[in-house]
């Protein structure tokens, strides 16, 4: 029999493991646009390889979602919507796409961790999955977020 944690159960687990967390659970979300993206990127987080992420400022503007802030907590879901990790936002920078530094690409942990790979993958992602009709442009602002892994939840059977 398999058991999976709900967001509320995961948050109770986090609060039991880490003193001082607020009572209300933070937002829960998954990386990427597909279950496969979510699982692959989550695996990089759990391995300690992925310590950063990038989002389109245009997507935030289009959806009306607030920009992340330093100190925010994030419950990360796998491709099935199961909470698996608690991350803390430790830094935010707004950087034009064509000026994102190699260090950020490396921190995202994808592929060979090069800036060239990062640019190719992220341009394709925003052309195919952007929530904003603007999609992609070389000078678009990117929300570069540094993340710290605080807690790993129990893996579902």
Q: What is the pLDDT of residue 58?
A: 98
Q: What is the pLDDT of residue 23?
A: 96
Query: Where does 32-79 show beta strands of DSSP type E?
Result: 52-56, 73-77
In the chain, the number of structural domains is 1
Q: What is the pLDDT of residue 1?
A: 37
When pLDDT is averaged across residues 128-138 and rounded to a whole number, the result is 96
Asked if the model's pLDDT at residue 156 lies above 90, the reply is: no
- Is 138 a member of any domain? yes
CATH number at residue 91: 3.10.400.10
Tens-place pLDDT, residues 9-36? 999 999 999 999 999 999 999 999 999 9
b/e map of 21-57 (b: 16 or more CB within 10 Å)? beeebbebebbbeeeeebbebbeebbeeebbbbbbbb
> pLDDT tier at 48 (50, 70, 90 boundaries)?
very high
- Is 146 a member of any domain? yes
Q: What range does the domain containing 112 cover? A: 7-152
Asked if the model's pLDDT at residue 41 lies above 50, the reply is: yes
45-49, 73-77, 110-114, 151-155: which range is least confident on average? 151-155
- Is 157 a member of any domain? no
Q: What is the pLDDT of residue 5?
A: 81
Q: Which two tokens stand for residue 3?
A: 């058991």
- Is 106 a member of any domain? yes
- Is 2 a member of any domain? no
- Is 1 a member of any domain? no
CB 59 within 8 A of CB 131: yes
Q: What is the pLDDT of residue 155?
A: 54
In 3D space, the residue among 134, 135, 133, 107 whose CA is nearest the CA of residue 122 turns out to be: 135
Tens-place pLDDT, residues 81-130? 999 999 999 999 999 999 999 999 999 999 999 999 999 999 999 999 99
Tokens 């893996």: give the residue.
155
Tens-place pLDDT, residues 54-71? 999 999 999 999 999 999
């Amino acid at each position: 029999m398999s058991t999976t944690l709900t967001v509320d159960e995961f948050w109770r687990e986090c609060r039991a493991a880490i003193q001082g967390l607020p009572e209300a659970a933070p937002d829960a979300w998954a990386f990427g646009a597909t279950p496969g993206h979510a699982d692959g990127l989550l695996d990089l987080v759990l391995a300690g390889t992925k310590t950063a992420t990038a989002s389109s400022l245009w997507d935030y503007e289009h959806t009306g979602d607030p920009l992340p802030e330093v100190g925010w907590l994030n419950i990360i879901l796998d491709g099935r919507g199961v909470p698996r990790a608690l991350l803390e936002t430790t830094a935010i920078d707004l950087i034009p796409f064509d000026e994102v530094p190699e260090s950020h690409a490396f921190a995202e942990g994808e592929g060979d961790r090069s800036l060239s790979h990062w640019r190719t993958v992220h341009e394709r992602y925003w052309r195919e999955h952007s929530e904003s009709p603007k999609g992609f442009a070389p000078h678009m602002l990117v929300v570069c977020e540094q993340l710290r892994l605080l807690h790993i939840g129990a893996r579902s059977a």
